[in-house]
Amino acid sequence: MTSPLSTSIDVKHDVSLSSLTTIGLGGNARYFVACRTVDHIHEALKFSHARHLRTQVLGGGSNVLFSDEGFNGLVCRIELQGISLVDQDDDVVVTVAAGEEWDSFVQQCITKHLAGVECLSGIPGFVGATPIQNVGAYGQDVRDSIVSVKAMNRTTLEVITFSNSDCRFGYRQSRFKAEDIDRYVITEVAFKLRKYGRPEIRYPELQKFIASTTDLNALADGEPALRSVRDAVLTLRRRKSMVVDSNDPNARSVGSFFMNPTITADRFAEVRGQWERSGAKDEMPTYPAGDKVKLPAAWLVEQAGFPRGYRRGRVGVSQNHSLALVNYGGTTRELLDLATRIQDAVRERFGIILEREPVVIPP
């Protein structure tokens, strides 16, 4: 029901959070408000400050885990809408409100012949969340195209614009996830995209799939070529249950639960030596990462004894991707227990600590 404590925003009590997340877990929020304007965000934060409440910002709920006990504070769901375009010679700067659905935005870019985000098709969630962890897939990251990020300081309520370099992007990382975690509410993101650009295919799996299905060079610049890449990415993601699909039980997840660990060349030599001494005959897969080595977390999970389809009670590992932990009617506590077991097993087998990708919200 609506709270009588605020007249300028519609604050509700005891709102279920499980229905607002892709994994379908979590108890109730003590207070909840849907913010459809920047003024709504301003008023929601004032409401929270006045009552000394914790505030949790929520977008599409695709990378967050709420406690079974819920959240004893204010959940502020960002639902700002709007997209504007400004020509800049061969490019277009597209400014997008934080509450726009990411994949819908990607689809619109392709329809308008704009290149730069096509490999990020099918990723769930809202635009405002993408800079936080520098969302990426199939060889493309949002930092490649972000021009600026506008955000409201949660304490001072001041609106600040950050340049790309100000955001301090890294692998699945930014200032908004590191030193400035929970300090800002992102309200809009600006991207620079190429007019009638051709897709840049860097990721081996995507390169191989497109080569086997499409003559990309025969397709015209802009929408035809970009659409072909989008279709390929969506096909690959569906095979892994990495798109939101109510008919796919393996899609009740937060996507990849663990990040690919990056280690020094010396450390990799130690890990590989340990692997070879264990009697393993398979080559340990790696990806280049500058002067470091990136290991596929999915491979580590499987080698540690958690193959696709592994079940523990009412949660498990996806049948289609070993990095996705799936809710089969369980609880947040069960899922986190499984995640801890996987991390412990990988650490014991390889001496590597897997970092979790989703945000776990305490009650």
Among 256, 308, 318, 334, which one carries the catalytic annotation?
A: 256
DSSP 186: E
Is 318 an annotated catalytic residue? Answer: no
* CB-based contact 34:77 (threshold 8 Å): yes
Dihedral sign (CA 90, 102, 104, 31): negative
Q: How many helices (H) and strands (E) does the chain have?
A: 7, 20
Is 348 an annotated catalytic residue? Answer: no
Dihedral sign (CA 172, 177, 178, 184): positive
Which token pair is 20? Answer: 């607002």
Q: How is the beta sheet containing 262-264 ordered, strand by strand? A: 262-264, 292-294, 287-289
Among 36, 54, 172, 183, which one carries the catalytic annotation?
A: 172
Is 172 an annotated catalytic residue? Answer: yes
CA 66-106-177 angle, 5° bins: 40
Query: How would you classify residue 134: left for phi > 0, otherwise alpha for psi between -120 and 50, otherwise beta?
Result: left
Angle, helix 265-277 to helix 332-350, in steps of 10 degrees: 90
Please identify every residue annotated as catalytic: 172, 256, 357
